[in-house]
Structure 1
């Protein structure tokens, strides 16, 4: 492996560590509000930010690790495995849409970047609105049977359009996208963050 490739990987790992720490802070400093089975916190915003900046794998694992640790240290250790799976899924979906499909890690017009950043964030968090209660239901039905908690998961799944769930997704989408749009030009222009994808594409108007 070339030295430059090793350096790029080390830089991305370092950024992933930072994103994991921010995910933890987003949960621990701003405690989650639990209502109708939904935890409202801004930790997911940093999962989105990590995936937009680093790609789905690095961003997803950063969010999964950071928020799993937050669960463990916050007294929700039993939720940590589900948290890991859900946050990894958010990152992978955001990264898939943003980088594999839209390729926002390359130079594009600002309007293009804004549009696909929003679409990517919404895709990841909207998926989570359905996936998280579904996973919880499966978890408490098959893995660790608990009829009360399984029923609560079903209630949350049925109520995915409730104000709590919508507010949670909207707040995290807005924060994640705004942070990305603010950081992206600085990181790219200073060379602190390179392209997430290596596939060459036609260069449009630079940011």
Structure 2
């Protein structure tokens, strides 16, 4: 059976980095789900911090270094991509955006991509929806339904009655990415059916019948 290739892109700047930690945990969750399905997988992590100078030079020269070219090839040829960025000024980081600016607009078309971000406060979690999703929608990627945001207080937290904890969200997102990589669509959540609803309410009445009902005797 063909080995699937999973590439995690981390735009963290510090070492150690919570962004890299989140990328590693998402990659591990995805790998475990694929292994359970009997699908061999090869995991690679691309650290953009180590490529920052090469990315800047490529933007002005148009020529990638061997290391940057290898990273771009890994992402564009992957069966699944995990993209993780720290949130700066309510959006993705400049390093993260600069790297994906170098990706051919058609290279990720139809490719499963899991989006994730880290930040100091939960107030910036909407960056996943107003910044990252539009970017990868433009690239026509197949975006995993569950995106994962990890604020400082999420690490080590089990969540509460309203919000699932970080480990639960990581596992759910990893499962969804594994489903897409293995060629399966994620199962839609079951919807409750109200037995009291009149199923005839949506019946389409032919136009001729509506006219007949309006006629006077």
Instruction: Compute the TM-score of the two structures, normalised by the length of structure 1.
Output: 0.29
As a proportion of its length, which structure holds more strand?
A: 2
Larger Rg: 2
| Higher relative contact order structure (alpha carbons within 8 Å, sequence separation ≥ 6) | 1
Instruction: Compute the TM-score of the two structures, normalised by the length of structure 2.
Output: 0.28
